[in-house]
Amino acid sequence: MDMESKLTRRCLLQTVGMAMVGASLTHAASAGKPEPPKIGIRAASMRMAGTPDVFKVAATIPGIQGVELQATAGKPNLRDADAIRRYKKEAQRWGMKIPALAGIWDAGTTIRSPKAAESVLASIRAAEILGARVILAAFFRKDAPNMTDETAYGPVVSMLQKVAKPAADAGVVIGLENSLSPADDRKLVDLVGHPAVAVYYDLYNMDVYGHGKEAVGGIELLGKNRICMVHVKNGKLLVEEPGPIDWPAAFRAFHRIGYAGWYVYETAHDSVEDCIRDTKKNNDFLRRQIQL
């Protein structure tokens, strides 16, 4: 049976599994108040990747609840057990969560490399200790498989299937952020067919890589079960300023599909001070949009 003919069966299995998880979450939510919006920021956006001091600074920004770390940034980085413990201790000290780990590829490794699984598994181990629910597996342009060619996407699907169970066992989702269209992302996730592999959705990247017109519509095309986390950005502009993405429309779409995960800023700033000032303004806008 070729890869394409397996798609329908895997979609069915994934849908059943996700429905069971969704029913459990719905029951839990109905027992109490709805969860408040979860807002985080990347350490790289704060220009503080590779240092546990990032939590101290993030704690000064009202509304920021967590920091997305770079697994391979810093010396030592999050391949080192002592470094992991330091980051965890500092996060707890300043009351910060770690929603996700990005920068997971070791030097010279991409999602299509023979050693890709090793980078993913090492990042899963770090994420489990840190309490991060997502690891961000990025692949752009030449590193992204051609989703019309099974010889290109087949090895990526196989690798992701191999690491999906260890991720699930650790309570971690592998979030795919890439230059594919929403339709191709949906196809890739469905071919993998495991709830521990989903899309880390970045609408701004959709525009950068030529899919801007599909960015907002892609939210409902993918649906809640295929989106594990969301990046929010508008280049160096404030999120509410005119840009390539209609963010109010995007937040309405997230609301329609029932997305209740993290919104993580991947904004660009000239300095730490600029980041703090701009993020306060972005938070005011973001809260107005997602508290619908």
Query: Residue 174 and residue 162: Cα distance in Å, rounded?
Result: 12
Nearest Cα residue to 41 out of 93, 83, 100: 100
Quick one: how far is CA 73 from the chain centroid?
17
What's the number of domains the chain is made of?
A: 1
Host domain of residue 92: 4-290
Burial readout 115-131 (b: 16 or more C-beta within 10 A, e: otherwise)? ebbebbbbbbbbbbbbe
Decide if 188 contacts 8 (C-beta within 8 A): no
Q: Is the pTM of this model over 0.75?
A: yes
CA angle 151, 113, 115 (to 5 degrees): 130
Per-residue pLDDT of the chain (292 residues; tens, 9 = 90+): 555 554 555 554 454 444 444 444 444 334 445 567 799 999 999 999 999 999 999 999 999 999 999 999 999 999 999 999 999 999 999 999 999 999 999 999 999 999 999 999 999 999 999 999 999 999 999 999 999 999 999 999 999 999 999 999 999 999 999 999 999 999 999 999 999 999 999 999 999 999 999 999 999 999 999 999 999 999 999 999 999 999 999 999 999 999 999 999 999 999 999 999 999 999 999 999 987 5
Q: State the DSSP H helix or E strand holding residue 220, giving kind and residue range, or none if neither.
A: helix 217-222
- Domain harbouring 233, CATH code: 3.20.20.150
Phi, psi of 70 (to 5 degrees): -105, 115
Q: Which amino acid is residue 47, in one-letter code?
A: R
